[in-house]
Structure 1
Amino acid sequence: MATGNETVKSKDDLVKWLKDHRITEVEVMVSDMAGIARGKILPTKKFISGLTERTLRLPESIFGQTVTGDFIDSDALSDTEPDIILDPDPQTVRVVPWYDEPTAQIICDANYRDGTHVPIAPRNVLKRVLALYEAKGWQPVVAPEIEFFLAAKNIDPDYPLEPPVGTNGRKETARQSYGIDAVNEFDPIFEDMYDFCEAQDLDIDTLIHESGAAQVEINFDHGDPLEIADQAFLFKRTMRQAAMKHGVYATFMAKPYEGEPGSAMHIHQSIVDVNTGENLFSTRQGRDTKLFLSYIAGLQKHLPSAMALIAPNVNSYRRIVRDLAAPINTHWGHENRTVGLRVPEAKRAARRVENRVPGADCNPYLAIAASLACGYIGMVNGLVPTKEMKGNAYESKRYALPRHLLDALDNLRSSSDLKEILGHDFVTVYLDVKYTEHEAYQQVISAWEREHLLLNV
């Protein structure tokens, strides 16, 4: 399973592609726990040498690096900080369209010298889950929808974000869900975004304006989970670069603005029989199959434990609030956007469930892996979902999802099922990274505390 350039399938193809495109530099990269691209930039000649001799290396500890750049101590990491090998996936090679110098980027698998996967690398975690599906003769199909905000440049992090100025010379203040003219206010940015995506073979589909000021959503075409995760990983970087070209920030924070809705990464998912090509979520009469209902039941039961992977930051939980259009529950229903697990109206071949819980700040590899893992557990154990929610799920007073990062981390730590599927070493390192990030967050005094506590308590 690979992505992107279908004509580049081997190392020889890759070398030819680099020469044909007169590439002078190559960015080799992997995703860390936060979804940040980590790697090296090499002259093409040195990259080709490292490719053939497997000398492209990084320390294993990059997967124990926090979003603040600190490194953790973990029982699942070696004290000697050994190197791992970056094995480029040839089909992921793409041009980097925002550079003047001909530059390529390529996503790598993190492996040991003997070729075995580094179990704590996020891309390998997704591969581990997909291997379970493959053993059952199942092929998952996913399609994410990623929301994000545009913001005026913010040099001082203590200062609240503001929407950028559009082509009409005003900052956007009104909420313009699905507004065509509202999107066109930032047309120069999105023209570059589309050009950049086309140059990289990123299969983005629909662009819509969301309900927040300068908030938009991009939909991806459905496809292989690893391919789609690669594309989502690259898209975030691409969108930030397109916006920066116009002096604007693009942010995938789950809740960057006070008083505005948060940003999600909804994941549509279905399962196809490898042998027949049939959608296993729909009967021939167009009804929900038992397997589909078990998949939903798996999401219902295990999403609270997977929450730390799909809502990975302290900021993530500012989005999971009643009346802000984000789910607070694991209810399911047909054509019901108030539930966490929505079944859209669709033809039999497109029967799917939309997991509306993940935030836009998630690591695409880990969010897709976690969602598929929950569904897998439900299917192999024949779980039965709750009764379908017919009404407004927000009227339920009980939060079924954790409301704070520490609660989510504790849930993951206690989940033997997810540890088994995702890998014990991965879960150990991931928890250590997130607990360390939370400790760093606890050292920061917020503006709210200074405003309301400084002279009043």
Structure 2
Amino acid sequence: MKASLDKLSAWLKERKITEVECLISDLTGIARGKISPTNKFLEEKGMRLPESVLLQTVTGDYVEDDIYFDLLDEADIDMFCRPDENAIFLVPWALEPTAMVIHDSFDKQGKPIDLSPRNILKKVLALYHQKGWQPIVAPEMEFYLTKRCNDPDFPLVAPVGRSGRPETGRQSFSIDAANEFDPLFEDMYDWCELQNLNLDTLIHEEGPAQMEINFRHGDALHLADQILVFKRTMREAALKHDVTATFMAKPITDEPGSAMHIHQSVIEVKTGKNIFSADDGSMSELFLHYIGGMQKYIPELLPLFAPNVNSFRRFLPDTSAPVNVEWGVENRTVGLRVPESNPQNRRVENRLAGADANPYLVLAATLLCGYMGMVGNVPPSAPVKGRGYERRNLRLPVTIESALERMEACKDAQQYLGESFMRGYVAVKRTEHENFKRVISSWEREFLLLSV
């Protein structure tokens, strides 16, 4: 711990940092924590937070008392959060020299907190480490830029770009449409470079002012940290230019949703060989079982990929999102796409996760599904050739309620993720959904007010 703090201290002093944002991710993916002067941050060697933060919903509410007090200490005690020296980032938009440091959460005995999303990902990565394997992932984050709107009853609309006009029609992969927001993206790239985020390409997606940022492939934990930081950075860059960046899964009616596509492969640590390829260069048995595991378990753990009621709007019929866990080579109409590549770069792309998913939990979930497939020798279905949207054999749950029921009953995943995490996550999402059901929508006012 001392060596870690020495490294952090040197990093902070070298950059003349005066303030540190100490943060963790809650179950919904919100960054929570404290802001501390640098000298106090180094004196305290971390921070304490109420462990109840990890059972907080997106609205700031908490789960019902019977679950709350079953999973947490009745005295609402603190957990102990320690900084990770490998998860420190500048805050380029701050007025004073500021850094954010991602922390890990422990109880007073020093045991990792079961409800911590970062600890959950570490737990899954440890399963791979025990086998002598290392997962490699490459996330792709889709999001919308929208005109700023203070009234949540008003629909979101495309912002005005450099031309002075809002975007219309479909502009997939359009360079000119992306260049409409050049000043914004120049700031975003400058800030991400200062933060050492491993960004790759920027793409204009199908929706109006819908964009995609690709990350370079790498370590899953480090990339989960980067996604958490990138979301904050993208929102701040947008606000600087008087627009909004949103990672909602389906923010605009009748427009494509926003996904987090996750490319994933696994290497053998000793040799550096991709275990998804056999010696002759063909798909290995482990690769096929990995796909089989994803097909079997993604529908069981769907709330980790689609965490909100809005997430399921991506899966409605006649959308551009895949609605099943079919797989195929170079096929974007199925949930699990295998891009053409050489044997060392063989990978599978999970196209089902929403951009609104918690990065730690969605990476943990997709890697765990594949792991359970490999250790359980789960066979995949036959690959799909041609259009896969209408395939109905391997469809996903269609509502958050049914998805939570299936997750709650998934004993195989509970064996690895722990009962406390499974119960706590399901309880948080049920509490959020109960809150959602109390809201009267504009659709109800429009069609029922004077008609029934």
| TM-score class normalised by the smaller sequence | over 0.9
Is 1:69 the counterpart of 2:64? The answer is no
Structure 2 SS opposite 1:430: helix
After TM superposition, give the deviation of residue 347 of structure 1 in Å.
1.4
Distance in 1 between the 2:430 and 2:291 partners? 29
State the AA in 1 paired with 2:246: T
CA distance in 1, matches of 2:312, 2:90: 36
- Give the counterpart of 1:408 among 400, 403, 412: 403
Residue of structure 2 equivalent to 1:103: 98
Structure 1 CA distance for aligned equivalents of residues 390 and 88 of structure 2: 48
Q: Deviations over 1:44-63 (max 9, x none)?
A: 11101111xx5x10000000
The AA in structure 1 aligned to 2:27 is M
How do residues 206-221 of structure 1 correspond to structure 2 at under 5 angstroms? 206-221=201-216
Please give the secondary structure, in 1, of the residue aligned with 2:218.
coil
Distance 2:367 2:309 in 1: 24
Give distance in 2, aligned partners of 1:9 and 1:47.
15
**3-state SS in 2 of match to 1:271:** strand
- Alignment length (residue pairs): 447
SS at match of 1:393: coil
Distance (whole Å) between structure 1 residues aligned to residue 265 and residue 15 of structure 2: 37
Output aligned runs, 1:253-264, within 5 Å: 253-264=248-259
Matched, 1:25 2:25: no
Q: Is the 8 Å Cα contact of residues 171 and 205 (structure 2) preserved in structure 1?
A: yes
Q: Identify the residue that residue 226 of structure 2 maps to in structure 1.
A: 231
**Equivalent residues in 2 for 1:124-163, closer than 5 Å:** 124-163=119-158
Q: Is structure 2 residue 313 aligned with structure 1 residue 322?
A: no
Partner of 2:4: 10
Alignment partner of 1:194 is 2:189: yes
Verify the 8 A CA contact 1:9 1:90 in the aligned structure 2: no
Q: In the TM superposition, what are the counterparts of 1:215-294 in structure 2 within 5 Å? A: 215-294=210-289
Q: Note the C-alpha offset of 1:213.
A: 0.3
SS in 2 for 1:304: coil
Distance 1:10 1:416, change over 3 A: same
- Offset, 1:397: 4.5
1:57 aligns with 2:51: no
CA separation in 2, counterparts of 1:336 and 1:231?
Answer: 28
CA distance in 2, matches of 1:91, 1:318: 36
* Aligned match of 1:5: none
Rounded to whole Å, the distance in 2 between the matches of 1:203 and 1:312 is 26
Distance in 2 between residues matched to 1:415 and 1:82, nearest whole Å: 30
Percent identity of equivalent pairs: 56
* Aligned partner of residue 315 in structure 2, secondary structure: coil
Larger deviation, residues 268-277 vs 281-290: 281-290
Q: 1:358 aligns with which of 332, 353, 362?
A: 353
Residue 41 of structure 2, aligned match among 29, 39, 47 = 47
Give the CA deviation at 1:212: 0.3
Superposed displacement of residue 9, structure 1: 7.1
Measure how far apart 1:114 and its partner are.
2.5
Equivalence for 1:295: 290
Q: Deviations over 1:207-263 (max 9, x none)?
A: 000000000000000011101101011111110001010011000000000110000
Unaligned runs of 5+ in 1: 1-7
Secondary structure at 2:300's aligned position in 1?
A: helix
Residue aligned with 1:374, SS = helix
Q: Quick check: 1:9–1:91 contact (8 Å CA) kept in 2? A: no
Q: Could you tell me how far apart the structure 1 residues matched to 2:393 and 2:450 are?
A: 35
Question: What's the RMSD between the two structures over aligned residues?
Answer: 1.2
Instruction: Tell me the equivalent position of 2:335.
Output: 340
State yes or no: 1:393 paired with 2:388.
yes
Residues 123-163 of structure 1, C-alpha deviation per residue, up to 9 Å, x if partnerless? 00000111111111110010100100000001000000011
| Aligned amino acid, residue 291 of structure 1 | L
Among 417, 430, 436, the alignment partner of 2:431 is 436
Q: Residues 333 and 389 of structure 1 are in contact (CA less than 8 Å); yes or no, is this contact kept in structure 2? A: yes
CA deviation profile, 1:172-224 (whole Å, cap 9, x unmatched): 11210000000000111111110110010000101000000000000000011
2:177, 2:201 → 1: CA distance? Answer: 15
Q: CA deviation at 1:323?
A: 2.8
Give the conservation status (yes or no) of the 8 Å contact 2:137–2:263. yes
Give me the whole-angstrom Cα distance separating, in 2, the residues matched to 1:112 and 1:430: 19
Partner of 2:77: 82
Contact 1:262 1:326 in 2 (8 A): yes
How much has 1:398 moved relative to structure 2?
Answer: 5.5
CA distance in 1, matches of 2:398, 2:365: 18
Deviation digits for residues 364-392 of structure 1 (CA, Å, limit 9, x no counterpart):
00000000110010000111100111121
Structure 1 residue ranges, 4+ long, deviating more than 3 angstroms after superposition:
none
